[in-house]
Structure 1
Amino acid sequence: MVSGTGPAVPHPLPGAVGLSHLTAYPWEAADGVRGGSPHLHLVCTEAYVVTGGRGAVQTLSPDGYRDIPLEPGSVAWFTPGTVHRMVPRGDLRVTVLMQNSGLPEAGDAVFTFPPEVLADPEAYAAAAALPPGIGPETEAAARRRRDLAVEGCLPLREALLAGDDGPLVRFQRAAAGLVRDRVPVWRELWRAGALAAAERTGAQLDALAAGDPAHLDAASAWQAAPTRLGGYGMCGRRDEYTLPGTTLPRRPPGTSSAV
């Protein structure tokens, strides 16, 4: 819940970033590794701020495969096009900061499903969707989705380790094609969120330079608590916030089902 003494509509977080808390999935995958569903973002940089436990984030990018250690106090971030997979080694909990709040919830994320699934938007949507709620049926579907993403990711990693980035690049191109028709919606979310935040700063600088700091008259403070606990995200169970710029629940490309 959001409250404050200022206007009825709360102010977005700094820089119009998205915020959630994430606990990594404990399920073991086909390669014997516990963790989340490998995926990439098309236009958003994501950051993990580790608040408890230890683990790693495994990444695939054209410059190779990395296994980045995560421990309390560490921060890791990855730019658009980087496949990432959250791996707990014991308990692991992170606070996730997401660029361009609202875009990831609107589909700026693509799972590393096998090529034949990526080539069929309807098949992709069916594989990415989860039933509503947080019960056993949803958990089973989230685990199947994770396993399918790992199935598609492992050949990409093997090729990278062998010095061949071709399969990864082909996956990136297929992911871009899958979400292309969503760009007009994303552009409007970006204009109303991250771009508007930057433009407000520009206007405030202009006002200060002109000796007219009237915007300070609207100063206020806000607070928020999670509005959804334990949802099934891509890499783990998510505690989410309903804040300006976000659109809940998260939706994958081509589907209207909550994920």
Structure 2
Amino acid sequence: MTSRPGPLPDFPGSVGLSQLSVYPWPTADDAHGGTPHMHLACAEAYVVVGGRGRLETLSHQGHHVTPLAPGDVVWFTPGTVHRAVNDGDLRVLVVMQNSGLPEAGDAVMTFPPEYLTPQTYPAAASVLDDSGRADEERARARRDLALEGFAELTRQWRRGNRAAYEDFCRAAAAVVRPHLTAWEETVQAGPVASAQRSLRQIRALTDGDWSHLLAADVTRIAEPEGRSLGMCGYLHAYDPIRRAGETCPPR
């Protein structure tokens, strides 16, 4: 193992990794859990490592509930509004496409329409208090606001109004539009560069050149000590640590 200045190598395939403990907070519909939201450019996977719960989703395929139990792997593509419901100590390893992009605002929460503009969304989405610190009460308030919007979306869907979901997609796209140039740069520097590197290695092997194998290395990140307030629950996020270049010696 070697030490490096600056960010550590990408995770395989340039994915993002986080440990998630889904919020135990009760909700207006008597289900404990997190904030409904949708990713616009990233697929997401849940690897359930403990507890039990449900994944409630809404997409153009309809409204569905998927059970979550230890050992389950559930994944979904951009455009899937999703909500993690905690039926008992639900813990998940989250694997995100396009490391760095989810943290750059790829997710939009299902707030009521008046909060879904580039001007109104940032304040509603923030969990920071007046001193700039993450505040659990603000995280809970934004969860409840998003649940209000999600409940209306699902009501409209059950009534046969598919336009409400499409209106949310349209509003979400407008919210993220100012960030799209930076998103493209993130994808080019991450997953695109990773795929191109693999292709170069395959071509080299085709030519009998295996010299890249001599650069093999091992990197370890210890479990993060602190946790952050995510959309679905308390997060131990690995990618910020990777970007900061913090490692621990192998055991």
TM-score (norm: length of structure 1): 0.88
Match of 2:177 in 1: 180
Match of 2:55 among 27, 39, 57: 57
Paired with 1:90 and 1:244, the residues of 2 have a C-alpha distance of 31
Q: How big is the shift at 1:244?
A: 4.9
Q: 1:167 to 1:133 in 2, by over 3 A?
A: same
Q: CA RMSD in A?
A: 1.6
Q: How big is the shift at 1:63?
A: 1.0
**After superposition, where does 1:106-125 map in structure 2 within 5 Å?**
106-119=104-117, 121-125=118-122
- Aligned residues with identical type, % of pairs: 50
Q: How big is the shift at 1:165?
A: 1.6
Match of 2:196 in 1: 199
Paired with 2:196 and 2:235, the residues of 1 have a C-alpha distance of 31
Deviations 1:27-47 (A, max 9, x none): 112222211000000000011
**1:29 corresponds to 2:27:** yes
**After superposition, where does 1:56-135 map in structure 2 within 5 Å?**
56-119=54-117, 121-131=118-128, 132-133=132-133
Q: 1:243 to 1:196 in 2, by over 3 A?
A: farther
What SS does the corresponding residue of 2:182 show, helix, strand or coil? helix
Whether the 8 Å CA contact 1:54–1:91 is kept in 2: the answer is yes
Paired with 1:207 and 1:61, the residues of 2 have a C-alpha distance of 43
Match of 2:248 in 1: none
Q: How big is the shift at 1:163?
A: 2.9
Match of 1:218 in 2: 215
Gapped regions of structure 2 (runs ≥ 5): 245-251
Match of 1:150 in 2: 147
Q: 1:58 to 1:39 in 2, by over 3 A?
A: same
Q: How big is the shift at 1:162?
A: 2.6
Paired with 1:169 and 1:228, the residues of 2 have a C-alpha distance of 40
152-161 or 43-52, larger mean C-alpha shift: 152-161
Gapped regions of structure 1 (runs ≥ 5): 247-259
**After superposition, where does 1:5-44 map in structure 2 within 5 Å?**
5=2, 7-8=4-5, 9-44=7-42
Paired with 2:82 and 2:109, the residues of 1 have a C-alpha distance of 10
Paired with 2:74 and 2:147, the residues of 1 have a C-alpha distance of 21
Aligned partner of 1:33: which letter?
A: A
Match of 1:141 among 134, 138, 142: 138
Q: How big is the shift at 1:215?
A: 0.7
What SS does the corresponding residue of 1:122 show, helix, strand or coil? coil
Q: How big is the shift at 1:198?
A: 0.4
Aligned partner of 2:12: which letter?
A: P
Paired with 1:46 and 1:228, the residues of 2 have a C-alpha distance of 24
Paired with 1:39 and 1:228, the residues of 2 have a C-alpha distance of 26
Match of 1:208 in 2: 205
Please identify runs of 4+ aligned residues in structure 1 that moved more than 3 A. Answer: 6-9, 243-246
